[in-house]
């Protein structure tokens, strides 16, 4: 299977909203509201205007199969945050997420001039943490009760990878 990244496009927004609202995806994001498909166009415009963000569609054999993003791109410290890691719930467990994160790291370190990529993940999201560790991210600490989801305070694991770790 060939996995590739391209910029997110308007035509992706309907499926992206459906995935984000899917019970196999929705619990793992910090934002606990539902995605309103009507507002997606304005959201994509604002992402495109934001020089600190790059939002990607993941393709598997040419089909839209997931997303990920580089957020909080900081030129001074040559760092960014990996976010919006999501694989089509019908295609999870097939290696798409792993390949997509590897591609994003190659882009960050080899063409975007970054030296550090960090991320935040719920401490109980075992699948995602295993994926990030498989890609070389290391655990840097736990932010206790940092995020309120569904009226409950949740612990968040911070992870990061430096260019020199690879
Ligand atoms: C987490 C997620 C992106 C992984 O993508 P994926 O394409 O399903 O993962 P892959 O098939 O590439 O698997 C890569 C590694 O992830 C880990 N993994 C994936 N699914 C797993 C599961 N259900 N249980 C445990 N580990 C799992 C494994 O280490 C796996 O490698 P291995 O099979 O060699 O052990 C995907 O499951 C997803 O979209 N989850 C919901 C949203 C989410 O949690 N996003 C992350 C928010 S921080």
| DSSP for 91-115, written as a single string | GTTSSHHHHHHHHHHHIIIIIS--S
Greatest Cα pair distance, the chain, in angstroms, is 43
Which of 67-71, 101-105, 128-132, 162-166 shows the lowest mean pLDDT across its residues? 162-166
User: How many independent structural domains does the chain possess?
Assistant: 1
Across 89-94, average pLDDT: 97
Residue 165 has pLDDT above 90, yes or no: yes
Q: Mention every residue, 6+ apart, whose C-beta is less than 8 A from residue 25.
A: 19, 86, 89
Closest Cα to atom 16 of ligand 1: 131
Tell the residue nearest (CA) to atom 10 of ligand 1.
95
- Say if ligand 1 is within 6 A of residue 30 CB: no
The reported pLDDT for the residue numbered 37 is 85
Q: How far is CA 127 from the centre of its chain?
A: 14
pLDDT exceeds 90 at position 133: yes
Among the listed ranges 32-36, 64-68, 107-111, 145-149, which one has the minimum average pLDDT value?
A: 32-36
pLDDT on residue 141: 98
Residue whose C-alpha is closest to residue 87's, from 57, 120, 109, 112: 57
Say if ligand 1 is within 6 A of residue 16 CB: no
For residue 33, give the nearest of 155, 149, 152 by alpha carbon. 149
User: CB atoms < 10 A from the CB of 92, how many?
Assistant: 16
Residue range 12-70, pLDDT digits in tens? 999 999 999 999 999 999 998 888 888 999 999 999 999 999 999 999 999 999 999 99
CATH assignment at residue 91: 3.40.630.30
Residue 128 CA, ligand 1 centroid: distance in Å: 5
pLDDT of residue 32: 87
Distances in whole angstroms, Cα of residue 30 to Cα of each of 6, 34, 123, 141: 24, 12, 12, 18
99 pLDDT band (50/70/90 cuts)? very high
**Domain that residue 137 falls in:** 3-165
d(CA 116, ligand 1 centre) in Å: 22
Q: Is 58 in the pocket of ligand 1 (CB under 6 A)?
A: no
Residue nearest to atom 30 of ligand 1 (CA): 131
Are 40 and 16 contacting, i.e. CB atoms less than 8 angstroms apart?
yes
Alpha carbon of residue 131 to chain centroid: 12
């Amino acid at each position: 299977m060939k996995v590739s990244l391209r910029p997110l496009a308007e035509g992706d927004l309907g499926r992206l909203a459906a995935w984000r609202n899917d019970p196999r995806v929705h619990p793992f994001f910090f934002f606990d509201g539902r995605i309103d498909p009507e507002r997606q166009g304005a959201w994509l415009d604002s992402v495109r205007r934001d020089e600190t963000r790059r939002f990607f569609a993941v393709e598997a054999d040419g089909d839209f199969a997931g997303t990920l993003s580089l957020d909080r791109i900081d030129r001074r410290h040559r760092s960014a945050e990996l976010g919006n890691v999501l694989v089509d719930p019908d295609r999870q467990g097939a290696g798409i997420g792993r390949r997509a994160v590897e591609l994003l790291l190659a882009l960050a370190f080899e063409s975007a001039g970054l030296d550090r990529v960090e991320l935040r993940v719920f401490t109980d999201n075992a699948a995602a943490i295993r994926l990030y560790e498989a890609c070389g991210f290391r655990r840097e600490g736990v932010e206790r009760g940092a995020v309120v989801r569904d009226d409950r305070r949740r612990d968040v694991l911070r992870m990061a990878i430096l260019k020199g770790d690879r």
